[in-house]
Homo-oligomer: A and B are copies of this chain.
Amino acid sequence: MFQLDRQGNKPLYEQIKEKMKALIINGALKPDERLPSVRELAQTLTINPNTIQKAYKELETEGFIYSIRAKGNFVAPLEQKIIRPRRDELKNELEKIVAELIYLHEPQEQLIATIQAIYKEKEEKKDD
């Protein structure tokens, strides 16, 4: 499914969160699709089940997945009420990055071309 970096950079549970989020966002995991169980994924990645549990728990509070006791963890369909605040957060992070790119003299046209390329790529790969 994915691999982790053990060289003490980021905490393992943070890495798991990021990887899972990426799979959900790029559509590799569909809404209501089941995630690997905590024990299963722990064995695959050879880490402790508690670490997976921590990652899943935070993904749930952030609205990316939901969990059903004794059945599993599942990809949460997009909820309208989550969109607005999350979009605002993302735009805030975006502004910092763009500000630094401007500081590095990134031309406006070039950055916009980059954005358009990302949209085009996602448009082509979407199959949901």
A binding-site residues for B, Cβ under 8 Å: 21-22, 24-26, 78, 83, 86-87, 90-91, 93-106, 108, 111-112, 114-116, 118-119, 122
Give the secondary structure class of A's interface: helix
- Top 9 closest A-B pairs, CB basis? A25-B103, A108-B119, A98-B118, A102-B122, A83-B104, A94-B97, A90-B97, A25-B99, A25-B100
Q: Tell me if A90 and B83 are in contact (CB < 8 A).
A: no
**A119 contacts across to B, CB distance below 8 A:** 98, 102, 108
Inter-chain CA distance A22–B93, complex, in Å, is: 12
Assembled-state Cα–Cα distance A111/B108 (Å) = 13
Q: Which residue of B lies closest to A95 (CB)?
A: B118
Given A94-B94, A112-B112; A118-B102 close (CB under 8 Å): yes
| B residues in contact with A102, CB < 8 Å | 118-119, 122
Q: Chain B contacts of A87 at CB under 8 A?
A: 101, 104, 106
